[in-house]
Structure 1
Amino acid sequence: MDSIYQFSAPLYNGENFDLSQLTGSTILIVNTASKCNFSVQLTALEKLYQQYKHFGFTVLAFPCNQFDYNEPINNPDIKDFYQQQFNVSFPVFSKVMVNGPEAHPLFNYLKAHTRGIAQNRAIKWNFTKFLINSEGQLAVRYAPRTKPDTLKQVIESTINDATNNGAFQFAKV
């Protein structure tokens, strides 16, 4: 069975990151952009990451300049900007294309396994979110307008499924 673990991508600093390093983790993949109106979601994504990282959850930010040129920052400076402006500590990758002939293979895989707005496979805007289960399979795709804090229940459920079929339960916060 295929999964996201077959892919790798360069981090903002050019270092290659093999997604198989995340085997067993629950992952939220997001195409980001610092100048997008949705960029405030980076702060909310960091809160989710901090809340659940000890349970095997991570967020992966893939900056994309494909939508209205909302990611003008150069790769070496992206992580610094995300840290300074949004306090981001989760992995930030080099800029990618998410649609078209130059789309990163990971995003081609994600689009092939789900549909978005109006049942279209193409990614329509920045901050489209893909929740990946502990087996590297796409669980759910979320639209850019979906606020990260609304994902807590499904993240907890996905983490619970990975830990003895729900034997672990989160305290209500």
Structure 2
Amino acid sequence: MKILLMALVVSMGMAAGSIYDFKVDGLTGGTINFSDFKGKKILVVNTASKCGFTHQYEGLEQLYEKYKDKLVIVGFPANNFMSQEPGSNDQIAEFCKKNYGVSFPMAKKISVKGSDTAPIYKYLIAEAAKKGIKDPIKWNFTKFLIDENGNLVTVFPSKVEPMSEELLKYLN
């Protein structure tokens, strides 16, 4: 009964108890189940294909390849900032694979800001607020780092490159 209630709460966009309560649709099908990532760090990133930070896909892929034994990256394409992710899910998948060889999990396109914010991002924003980080998503490629126990560690703004020392210090 508790599991059924939690699924209802999550599907209705209400606050979940943990990042591990979320399941999201994958960009090319299937489901990304965050409970599968227990024991690893998780880096959640809102992405866009036509942004000045789009080159970060390359660094995200390098980061994923180097640390995939202890880190999962989940990309969330979003069109919230100046229509910089106008494509369909199929177009986004093709762009990511062709241009950057993205192999880390990518979710279907969602909204990360505004009245239609996806439940997982409502959760992340609420967790950031608990740490005193208000309005954490200013642009594409904002990065939420979650520890091995499902707790938000910090939020990195767009300008922080995936392979930067600022981020890597949490992985070494």
Does TM, scored on the shorter chain, surpass 0.5?
A: yes
DSSP-derived class of the 1:37 partner: coil
Segments of 4+ moved more than 6 angstroms: none
1:14-72: CA deviations, max 9, x gaps?
Answer: 42222111111111100000100000011001111011012x21111000011101011
Identical amino acids, percent of aligned pairs: 38
Residue identity matched to 1:49? Y
Is the CA contact (8 Å cut-off) linking 1:112 and 1:121 kept in structure 2? no
Q: 1:112 aligns with which of 126, 147, 167?
A: 126
Residue identity matched to 1:153? K
| Corresponding residue of 1:171 | none
- Answering whether residue 151 of structure 2 is matched by residue 137 of structure 1, we say yes
1: CA distance between counterparts of 2:146 and 2:133? Answer: 19
| Corresponding residue of 1:170 | none
Is the CA contact (8 Å cut-off) linking 2:128 and 2:136 kept in structure 1? no
Is the CA contact (8 Å cut-off) linking 2:27 and 2:89 kept in structure 1? yes
Q: 1:8 aligns with which of 2, 6, 23?
A: 23
Q: 1:39 aligns with which of 41, 54, 60?
A: 54
1: CA distance between counterparts of 2:28 and 2:91? Answer: 9
Give the 3 Å change call, closer, same or farther, for CA 103–146 of structure 1 in structure 2. Answer: same
TM normalised by structure 2 equals 0.83
2: CA distance between counterparts of 1:25 and 1:110? Answer: 17
Cα shift at 1:119: 4.9
Structure 2 runs not aligned, ≥5 long: 1-15
- Answering whether residue 89 of structure 2 is matched by residue 88 of structure 1, we say no
**Which of 35-44 and 8-17 deviates more?**
8-17
Residue identity matched to 2:119? P
| Corresponding residue of 1:66 | 80
Cα root mean square deviation, aligned: 1.7
Is the CA contact (8 Å cut-off) linking 2:136 and 2:155 kept in structure 1? no
Structure 1 runs not aligned, ≥5 long: 157-173
2: CA distance between counterparts of 1:105 and 1:133? Answer: 20
Give the 3 Å change call, closer, same or farther, for CA 26–119 of structure 1 in structure 2. Answer: closer
Is the CA contact (8 Å cut-off) linking 1:38 and 1:144 kept in structure 2? yes
Q: 1:48 aligns with which of 17, 39, 63?
A: 63
Q: How many residues align?
A: 153
| Corresponding residue of 2:32 | 17
Residue identity matched to 2:170? V
TM normalised by structure 1 equals 0.83
Cα shift at 1:122: 4.9
2: CA distance between counterparts of 1:78 and 1:9? Answer: 16
Is the CA contact (8 Å cut-off) linking 1:3 and 1:135 kept in structure 2? no
